[in-house]
A and B are shown apart, each in its own frame.
Chain A
Amino acid sequence: MAADTTSITASALPDPAQEAGGAWGFTRAQLGALGVLIVFLAVAPFMLYPVFLMKLLCFALFACAFNLLIGYVGLLSFGHAAYFGMGGYLAGHAAKVWGLTPELAIIVGAVTAGLLGTIAGWIAIRRQGIYFAMITLALAQMVYFFCVQAPFTGGEDGIQAIPRGSLFGVIPLDQDMTMYWLVAGIFLGAFLLIHRIIHSPYGQVLKSIRENEPRATSLGYRTDDYKLLAFILSATIAGTAGATKSIVFGIATLTDVHWSMSGEVVLMTLVGGLGTVFGPVIGAAVIVTMQNYLAEMGAWVTVIQGVIFVTCVLAFRRGLVGEIAAMLKVKL
């Protein structure tokens, strides 16, 4: 059976000849898409509700972090909510109880998520494939139970009334527009960082592990080290997203560490396109928008998400961006 299985992202892989051209590791098509994205970030807050946009960007960043693992190392983490939620809790705690400025609080959240990712990754990379998914899910559930019991998380109430504070202690973030520019900056910075990681020599080794791990090992790469570092980077960026979200909304709750959040980020990435640079952003936009409009439908949202999951897996494995890229014969 092993011989005729296709890699989870192989369908999203365009022709390698496309790799060349463009600047900074971007292909020409990607540069165009990046331009569109930057223009959108600059114009959107004047046309759409900034708080909604901030939520969207936090989830987009979360999905990009998740995609770094599934899309470029071939590891499906089913427990990314742990890093997202823990980043949120720690940033909230740092801002509210320790009185740190927002940028420091976000760093605290990100570093905590990174440390957690170091431990979880160290345990989980011992197995591949579906076992990896089950292990990350189980470890994330452990983090969830920890958050239910730990005193600083506030249990069912969560951490509420987290102050936005002032950036560097100078620029107050109470205005949604000011906050938006910070969130957009964090998002764009992390997005470019992920892109840089993927296109570095390190990233090329990651991709070789995804394609054929035994061969990468036989070429002398210590694949476990590469996978662990990728896991830590992914967890840290997911933590950054969660931390930013709790600063924006002033609340950190159990919802963000629950396994259903882990499922949501998988869904966002799947809808957008696994292993595409822009897919997770589009996927997050689709899912967050959908949740926004269907919020009053209660449990039907879960049903619709399930239907999207099934549809994507059966008929639409390349995702929105993957399909567009395939249609235009470019890499996005």
Chain B
Amino acid sequence: MDEIFGIPAPLLFGQLLLGLINGAFYAMLSLGLAVIFGLLNIVNMAHGAQFMMGAFAAWMLLAWGGIGYWWALLLSPLIVGTIGVILEKLFISKLYKLDHLYGLLLTFGLALIIEGVFRNEFGSSGLPYRIPAELSGAWDFGFMFMPVYRGWVVVAALVLCLTTWLLIEKTRLGAYLRAATENAALVQAFGVNVPRMVTLTYGAGVALAAIGGVLAAPIYSVNPQMGSNLIIVVFAVVVIGGMGSILGSILTGFTLGIVEGLTKVFWPEASATVIFVIMAIVLLARPAGLFGRK
């Protein structure tokens, strides 16, 4: 068990784990994008910036308020989600009758504003965020070391994704949501307050990005650009999976993270581009995406 395909086992498993963690973030972010897109029909270009805000909110809570990781995990998505609700009310809701591309342009503008403000305030270099005491340390599996925090991120992301899926597929609220995605006018005619549901859905999608940010804070350094590079990969993930299916986007996210991790082992130069190459191949073979409809 020392070498697999001529690769030392610890290296292989280490990269697999890193891939799994990246995959967890891809899954969480593409899930949020899919939920928002399903109901609002806009691509939330500010998703990366909101992910970054989640991480910064956790950092600020700790540095300025002495509020630790576990409370941040709850408060940061609430704060950032509320900001999302305000953004939706003030700006995005004005665009529903226009071409979807305007929503993309607007949220891109919002992302520029948010990132610019944070860059002015905190500079481009990262801020450290300590791993909470309960989750520090590592397990020794014999063939590799597994830092506890990384295991926690994977588990937390899985739980979060599955809860979201259950919420949408198995509850009454989720049924309203799916119905409104199909035909908003009809659902409104049945007495459901669709505009409020749209607003809250956007808030929830944003909150999901913010939780991702909090989870990411101890792993990556907290910096203003942490979201923008990630989100472009997530767009590719979304194109590969297709935005039609919640479970599909979760699965695609994790799988692509692992594929990327494996590429890092076998062909490091290609690891930055492998997801984009897969996207191109999928588009040629199945333009609607692996789980997409139409």
Contacts and interface: CB of A to CB of B under 8 A. Distances in A.
Nearest to A148: B272
Nearest to A305: B112
Contact of B239 (A8, A135, A259, A298): A135
A315 B188 CA distance: 28
Contacts of A139: 276, 279-280
Interface in A266-303: 266, 270, 298-303
A327 interface: no
B91 interface: yes
A152 interface: no
Contact of A5 (B99, B111, B184): B99
B273 interface: yes
B41 A1 contact: yes
18 contacts: A5-B100, A6-B98, A131-B239, A133-B104, A138-B235, A141-B236, A142-B273, A146-B273, A299-B116, A300-B116, A302-B113, A302-B116, A303-B112, A303-B120, A305-B112, A306-B111, A310-B110, A312-B105
A130 B120 contact: no
Interface of B: 37, 41-43, 91, 94-102, 104-106, 108-117, 119-120, 184, 228, 232-233, 235-236, 238-239, 269, 272-273, 276-277, 279-280, 283-284, 287
B109 A308 contact: yes
A229 B238 CA distance: 27
A299 B239 contact: no
A126 B113 contact: no
B198 to A, nearest CB: 12
Nearest to A313: B106
Nearest to A2: B41
Contact of B43 (A134, A146, A259, A303): A134
Interface of A: 1, 4-8, 76, 78, 123-124, 126-127, 129-131, 133-135, 137-139, 141-142, 145-146, 148-149, 259, 263, 266, 270, 298-303, 305-310, 312-314, 317
A303 B239 contact: no
If over half of B's interface residues share one DSSP class (helix, strand or loop), that class is named, otherwise mixed; here it is helix
A8 B101 contact: yes
B43 A263 contact: no
Contacts of A306: 109-114, 116
A320 B112 CA distance: 21
A317 B108 contact: no
Given A138-B236, A141-B232, A314-B94, A303 B117 contact: yes
Given A123-B284, A313-B95, A313-B102, A138 B269 contact: no
Contact of A1 (B106, B109, B184): B184
A8 B102 contact: yes
A326 B42 CA distance: 28
A134 B120 contact: no
Nearest to B279: A138
Nearest to A308: B109
A133 B96 CA distance: 18
Contacts of A129: 100-101
B276 A138 contact: yes
B286 to A, nearest CB: 10
A131 B288 CA distance: 10
A286 to B, nearest CB: 16
A330 to B, nearest CB: 24
Contact of B105 (A142, A270, A300): A270
